[in-house]
Structure formats: structure tokens, C-alpha cells
Amino acid sequence: MIVERLVREQLRAMGCERFDLGIRRVAGEMILREGQGAIEIEGAIKWLRHENGKGAHIYIRPAGTHSLSLIDDLNADAIERMKAEGFEPAVVVETSPNNFQAWLNHGQVLEATMSTRAAKRLVERFGGDPSSADWRHFGRLAGFTNPKPERELPSGMRPFTRLRSAKGRVYSQAAEFLARISKNEQDQCETVKDKQTHRRRREGVEIKTLKEFHDDAIYAGDLHRADMAWAKHAASCGMTLEQIRDGLLNGRDLRKKGNRKRQIEYVMRTTEKALRNL
């Protein structure tokens, strides 16, 4: 069947071992099936079509950290410019007439912060929706309709999500693009660190340990709040993302958060929020 073929081609071109499926129903309920293999997703197509027929949106994203960036809400001219400048998409999905999503393959798995930064740089360069530029954003799965009311066709029908390209290749400028981002990030971190180190020396600020926050009665044993407070404190004292991340990973038993992947995701969320607040 056509839907099965389109789904198979899109998943193959995205090149991930596992995916997260998102099914958002009309009432707003989001059904999330995490860590699905291609075979499992293909086996769920009949159910997905049933949900889609009732007005649900059918979404896909890589599970865990990955090598892809999604750029949403592009027009055909932007897609052509990406190709001309060496940013050839691995996957192009037309979500409604002349409205596209592009998945770019960086050729290497990126940690969450780097992945989000790459997505934002791509949106700045080629356009698209800035609110979709992060490491965990969902894209649409080809072969299903787009139920957004504003995308309804003049005929009153919903447009099908079409797979326009599924080459799966790493884009030509990947190595140079990532190197530039890493260099900019390093320069910014060094500048911030120098300023904060100077301020700490001037003010005599001492970095407290994570255990001191855990033992502080103000948090009443809520280690999640204590973790966040320590991360903000550490960031304000000039510790880097990697140092804060390692401090949280090694500072207490995180097994209640789930497997190692979920522990790392918790630590990254906490660290990134602390740095954003800073």
C-alpha cells in the first residue's frame, strides 16, 4: 500500500534505529509511543490511519539523541537554496501545498545542546519556524493527512503529507557547519567564564557542593528542586555545561529517573534550564 511504502522510505532515510511516535488527537490528548523500531511503526499503520481519519495528527521524531535537525515551515525556494548551498536535506516532507519540513543529517550524533543550537542556526540561515528549532521536535509522518483547519484545501479536503525526497544523505557542508558552531560556542563560553571568574574573585564567591543543597532544609528533601537550585548556583559561579552535567550525574543516585538515557535527559533538561535562566 502507498502509506506503508511512504512510511518505510521516510524512516529509512531518517536513518535512526528507534523513533518516537506522537499521535495528537482533536481534544489535545497526546499519545506518545517511545523507542519504536521501523517494523513496530509499520505494524501500527492501520491504527494510525484510523486515528488520522478521526482528525489526529501523526508525528515522528528520532528517539534519544540523534544526528538529525528538523526545519519546519519552509517554502520551495528555501529548499532549493539549501541544496544550492550544500545543505541537502536527508528527507523533505510536504505537509501542505508549498509548505515543507526538511530533516538534515549531520553525519554524527549530537548532544542535546549542540543539536538545538544547530537547528536554530539552520532556521536563522534558511528561514522556517524558530519555535520548532530544538533537538526533540516532532515532524509529520508521510502518508497521512494534515488535519490543521488552516491547511484545509479549497475542496474542503485535508491535504496529504507527501514525501518529496528521501535520499538520506549527509549534507555536503556538515563538517564545516558543525565546526563553526563548536568554535562559536567555545569562544562564547570562554568569554562568559572569564567574566564570571573575575566576578567571583572580586566578590569572593565560593561554589557550594551539590550535597549542601540536598541537605538544606529549605528544600525539604525535594532533590529535584535542590538539583535545579545547585545547577543555577553552579552556572552563576562560572561552571560549564559539562561540569554541571557531570556534577548532577555523579552527585546522587538517579536510578529513580529510569534507565541511563532517561537519567541523562533529566540532567540535560536541568542544566539547560539553569543556563537559560542565567
Q: What is the pLDDT of residues 251-276, one digit of tens each?
A: 888 888 888 888 888 888 988 888 87
Mean pLDDT of 130-143: 95
Residue 238, sorted as left (phi over 0), alpha (psi -120 to 50) or beta, turns out to be left
Residues 81-134: pLDDT tens digits? 999 999 999 999 999 999 999 999 999 999 998 999 999 999 999 999 999 999
Residue 7 pLDDT exceeds 70: yes
Closest CA to 145 of 133, 137, 153: 153
Q: What is the pTM of this model?
A: 0.70
Residue 170 has what DSSP assignment?
B
CA-closest candidate to residue 68, choices 33, 92, 97, 100: 92
Q: For position 241, what pLDDT does the model report?
A: 83
Cα–Cα distances (Å) from 156 to 97, 148, 149, 153, 159, in that order, read: 14, 12, 10, 5, 9
Residue of 39, 21, 41, 40 lying closest to 31 (CA atoms): 21
Here the cell at position 179 is: 565546526
Contact 240, 230 (CB under 8 A): no
Per-residue confidence band for 192, with pLDDT thresholds at 50, 70 and 90: low
